[in-house]
Amino acid sequence: MITLHHVAASRSFRTLWLLEELGLPYAVKHYKIRDGSLRDPAFLEISPAGRVPALEVDGKVIFESQAITQYLCESRPLSGLAPKQDEPERVDYLQWLAFAETQASIIASLNLQMVFLRPPAKPSVIVLKLEVARLKATLAPLEAVLDTQDWLLEAGFSAADTLLGFNLFAVKYFVDLTEYPNILAYLDRMEARPAFKRARANDGAQEFYDKPFYAPEDYA
């Protein structure tokens, strides 16, 4: 049995969605960021930095969503969710997988400063504005590629969409996406996928965001 260690609406959703796309049976073990469960010694045995996702699969324990994505697609190659070494879009695929974490690290920084930090601690508005600008810079290549294709790869939906596409559901808390019509349409396409809907049903309620938009100016 595959077991996913998961926090609702966090990066472990990437794995949850991929498991659904692959049609693999799995169990979910739920954690919460704020209740200390990710620092439990038993969990640290599974994921040494106390992060999700972690996946128990094929007698192994894997942490890091990108490694999990690559392992699942390479060990189940018939899924067709990852181009093989000799396929033309292999490089694009690898690039988007890695780019997902470039973007996610900025989202994580904004989450930390605007969502998790509690008064009297106060973020720097200048740093917040810089981070939002850096986040927008990561949206530009996505908006461009989605102008001519539905998914990150021209060949169609791939595991790069589960990894990077997931980020965009968090981006909307920090960037007004009306400036990005192709990304908005991409969000709709992702949400329409049956596997995405099944993953959402197993995700749990998100407990981070308590308002629809976080603006740096509100922290002045």
Ligand X SMILES: N[C@@H](CCC(=O)N[C@@H](CS)C(=O)NCC(=O)O)C(=O)O
Binding residues for ligand X (CB under 6 A): 7, 10-11, 33, 38, 50-53, 64-66, 101
How many helices, marked H, and strands, marked E, lie in the chain?
9, 4
Which is closer to ligand X, CB of 38 or CB of 135? 38
Which is closer to ligand X, CB of 108 or CB of 125? 108
φ, ψ (nearest 5 deg) of residue 87: -90, 150
Smallest gap from Cβ 88 to ligand X, in A, equals 26
Place of tokens 């930090």: 117
Smallest gap from Cβ 6 to ligand X, in A, equals 10
Which is closer to ligand X, CB of 22 or CB of 52? 52
Which is closer to ligand X, CB of 101 or CB of 150? 101
Smallest gap from Cβ 65 to ligand X, in A, equals 4
Smallest gap from Cβ 47 to ligand X, in A, equals 8
Which is closer to ligand X, CB of 55 or CB of 142? 55
How far, CA to CA in Å, does 75 sit from each of 48, 81, 82, 93, 153? 24, 11, 11, 17, 21
Residue 80 CB-half CA count within 13 A: 3
Smallest gap from Cβ 154 to ligand X, in A, equals 25
